[in-house]
Structure 1
Amino acid sequence: MLYAILGLIVGLIAGFFASRYFFKKQLQKNPPINEKMIRAMYMEMGRKPSEAQIKRIMASVKSQYK
């Protein structure tokens, strides 16, 4: 009985870290926002974004997932 409980606890901890790793990897590969979305948001606000602004926003988004 003790081995079953110990195995369950170890499995939960290992599963948590494995799922966290795969989730971060997936977010880095497929970010939830891209440059086209940033341009569209700026256009909705009535502004024309520069490439420097877009690159700065993309860098800040990518830094959040590391």
Structure 2
Amino acid sequence: MPIVLAILLIIVAALGGLAGGMLLARRQVKQMMLDNPPLNEDAVRIMMGSMGRKPSETQVQQVLRQIRSAAKQADKKK
């Protein structure tokens, strides 16, 4: 009986570690995406340039702030 209990405890510990690791990794990736969004200043400039506009630095920063605030609001809704 002790060997069965030992195997069962190993399996439970492995599953617990896997679940805990996945939750921790998910939280860290979400925080990284909020802190460093994949869309940066150069990408915003290129997008605005492709629409035929020459954006000022103020406009680029405004768009980035809007994107970040929208991402934070979407995160709070979930």
* Same fold at TM > 0.5: yes
Identity %: 31
Structure 1 spans left out of the alignment, 5+ residues: none
Moved over 6 A (4+): none
Q: How many residue pairs get matched?
A: 64
- CA RMSD of superposed structures (Å): 2.3
The structure with the largest helix share of the pair is: 2
Contact 2:48–2:54 (Cα < 8 Å) also in 1: yes
Please say if 1:64 is aligned against 2:66: no
TM score, norm. by length of structure 2: 0.61
Query: Which whole-Å CA distance do the structure 2 matches of 1:10 and 1:36 have between them?
Result: 42
